[in-house]
Amino acid sequence: MDILMESGIPVASSCGGQAVCTKCLVKVIEGKENLSPETPDEADMRDIHEWSRDERLSCQCTVQGDIKIDASYW
């Protein structure tokens, strides 16, 4: 989420990155291996909302290489 915002790309959020609002959810198109593992909070939200493994909370992951993502509101 920080990298997106620093790049001028809007990221929806109302919890300030606390893994609560789920508004920052993005779909990973390519490079999911280049994202950090899920945090416990992110895993909890995945269980509740039944997201696919290609969807990540951008506030909960760090980028370690090239990725391609999309969001429903872009």
Could you tell me the smallest distance in angstroms from the CB atom of residue 21 to ligand FES?
4
Q: How many binding residues for ligand FES (CB under 6 A)?
A: 11
59 near ligand FES (CB under 6 A): yes
Q: Which amino acid is at 66?
A: D
Residue carrying the six token digits 């872009």: 74
What's the rounded Cα separation, in Å, for the pair 64 and 72? 23
- Which of 3, 5, 9, 15 lies at the binding interface for ligand FES (CB under 6 A)? 15
Distance (Å, whole) CA 31 – CA 54: 10
Write out the residues near ligand FES by the rule CB under 6 A.
Answer: 13, 15, 17, 19-24, 57, 59
